[in-house]
Chain A
Amino acid sequence: MATVFMKWLETSPKNYDRGINILTLGRIGRVKERISNSYVHPGMHVLEIGCGTGTLTTMMAAKGATVTGIDASPAMLSEAEKKVTQQKLEERVNLKYMDATLIGERFAQASFDLVVSTLVFSELPPDEQRYVLQACKKLLAPGGRLLIADEVVPSQALAKLAFYLVRLPLVLVTWLLTRTSTAVLRDFEASLRQAGFHTYRAASYLGNSLVLYESHLTQGIPPEVLAGERQAELPAGVVGRLEHQVTLRTLLLDLWLLFFRIIPPYPKIRPGLYALGNPDTRSPVLVTGNFDLTVRRLVQAIDSRLDAWVLVADSAGINVWCAAGGGYFTAEKVIAALKASNLEQVVKHHALILPQLCANGVDGWRIRQETGWGVHWGPARAVDIPAYLAGRRKKTDEMRWVRFPLKDRLEMVTVTLGFYGLLILLPVFLFWRPMFWPVAFSLLGLSYFYAVVHPWLPGRDGLYKSIPLTIVALAGLFVYIALGNSLPTGQLFHWIVGLTGLSVFTAAELQGMSPLMRGEQANWGWEALIGLSLGAIYWLIPLITGWR
């Protein structure tokens, strides 16, 4: 089957990158980041077998290595050539049209420090795999490494089932969208060992279905590698390993937290020192709070992109910004976590990277004075950590500033609705059943509409923003009538009063969930006043006019 797919690939190199990204749920990008960040150094000679459209080739060349890329598809190579020219890397990249089985004859013995291949071996028949692995052995210089990333079938039964359940529909979707597919490897670790390599899994993704194998020729690892060598066993004092994973527990927890995040008790994890990936004595130390979601999002943002130590301090199960603002996350908590852990023995440096957003409560100078450790204020968002570290802890303004993008606005509106929605809708459901659906739809509609248009509504205060929101809501009502739907005067009156009330409430309360809020609770007085006035209008006007 693979050959049929390969024919398609040859005709559609642009689709290939997209297809592979869908098929690996974007993880192939992480594999490539990992390879170029952890294994490639300036001056290295690297051979990439199956360079495809040249994504990894150019990443490695940009790191200062001299890269030879081979591929059996001229169309792919011409795409790769374009990338190389665009990034002006011609001097360090050498692209060759060549089949993988020929590398043993065309290149000199021991001429590469690193041989890399992603998603190629699974496309080769078993005999060719063996042949190419033998050739790799010849080409590697002493102390050189072979890195192979490929899709594999997980060995455990349950993981295997999950793998096929996810993979089959993905393969179909990917195929339909991009005419791209890949094969999977079986028992590849054994093949590597048979070929005479010392192999281990340097990283695995997607429930062990995408694996990066690191192989050495000799068991004895050369000294320059040893300094930064990975520790398979965790040092004493390390609580455990953190890993990004999706389980039934995390799914249920995410669902609960989406609606009821502000209701205690908050899910938390045990404070202490954790390993993320395979950190060593030179890996960075990231400090964070012990809210379950905070830790999981941190792990998700950087897992398999880099190796790090994570020092989880007790923040009472609250996210770092709120905990720091509320006095739950302080310098003392960080110092306590540092002292209680074995960090002094685990790493050879004295640098802590703190989340920038806890700077409102964690006194950096106090940590410096009390412990002698340097405090570096990392980026505001965890997703920027890899870029921040890659740039030697240089922070751009983009990394510094808090934003409130649509995704976050929708999330926070849902969080707010989980609590206030219940507060409003439960009484309506119990005591005013006929109005339940109209109120529920109005509340949901107004809230999500507000979330979408929030940046364009004038004013910073939620109470001001409620004025345009009310106007829009009432305009909607009149458009509904103008379209030929008739509402009796009494009901129209109900709708006007109700929509005004809900609009004011929605705008004023949701603004309080914005990271850019400032004492929005002070609006409660005004909200109560507006509510009371609306109530009075609702009660008085029918009395005067004799409606109902």
Chain B
Amino acid sequence: MNTQPTLLSSLKEHLQLARELRHLEIQFYPQKCKGVWQCYNVCPVGCWTPDYARRKVIFHDPEKCIACGACVLQCPEDAIELK
């Protein structure tokens, strides 16, 4: 049965996941943003800043991102992706 994961294959998979995580980047589509600000509300590191005047959000500090994915999941407009 070669469907059973071996120690080496799980380790490889784990490393692959970690590598992907490391290179994931936020893709933000401002035209879809309707100013719900859930991303700002849930981001634990402060990447997002609300733009109250234009009812949008600004992806202000990309270098702080830890790729946790909270903003992607909570955005009701699908305006954020993690790729």
Q: Do A397 and B46 touch (CB < 8 A)? A: yes
Q: Tell me which residues across on chain B come within 8 A of A395, comparing CB atoms.
A: 41
Q: Mark B1-34, 1 if CB is under 8 A from A, else 0.
A: 0000000000000110111111100000000000
Main secondary structure of the interface of B (DSSP, over half): helix
Compute how far the CA of A325 lies from the CA of B73 in the bound complex, rounded to whole angstroms.
Answer: 11
CB-contact partner of B41 in A361, A400, A518, under 8 A? A400
A504-541 interface with B by 8 A CB criterion? 515-522, 524-525
Q: Tell me which residues across on chain B come within 8 A of A365, comparing CB atoms.
A: 74, 76
Q: Do B22 and A377 touch (CB < 8 A)? A: no
Q: Is A364 on the interface with B (CB-CB < 8 A)?
A: yes
Q: Do B15 and A524 touch (CB < 8 A)? A: yes
Query: What is the distance, in angstroms, from B80's C-beta to the closest C-beta of chain A?
Result: 12
Q: Do B43 and A519 touch (CB < 8 A)? A: no
Q: Do B19 and A360 touch (CB < 8 A)? A: no
A519-B19 contact given A325-B68, A361-B73, CB 8 Å threshold: yes
Q: Tell me which residues across on chain A come within 8 A of B41, comparing CB atoms.
A: 356, 377, 395, 400
Q: Tell me which residues across on chain A come within 8 A of B65, comparing CB atoms.
A: 518
Q: Do A359 and B14 touch (CB < 8 A)? A: no
Q: Is A380 on the interface with B (CB-CB < 8 A)?
A: yes
Q: Do A401 and B44 touch (CB < 8 A)? A: yes
Q: Do A401 and B18 touch (CB < 8 A)? A: no
A356-B15 contact given A361-B73, A363-B73, A365-B74, CB 8 Å threshold: no
Q: Do A521 and B70 touch (CB < 8 A)? A: no
- Report, nearest first, the 6 A-B pairs whose CB atoms are least far apart: A519-B21, A519-B22, A359-B42, A521-B18, A359-B70, A522-B18
Listed A/B pairs (21) with beta-carbon separation below 8 Å? A356-B41, A356-B44, A359-B74, A360-B69, A361-B69, A363-B73, A380-B44, A397-B46, A400-B46, A401-B45, A402-B44, A402-B45, A516-B45, A516-B66, A518-B66, A519-B19, A519-B23, A521-B17, A522-B19, A522-B22, A524-B15
Known: A400-B44, A521-B18. 18 other contacts (CB 8 A): A325-B68, A356-B42, A356-B44, A357-B44, A359-B70, A360-B68, A360-B73, A365-B74, A365-B76, A377-B74, A380-B44, A400-B43, A402-B45, A518-B21, A519-B17, A521-B17, A524-B18, A525-B15
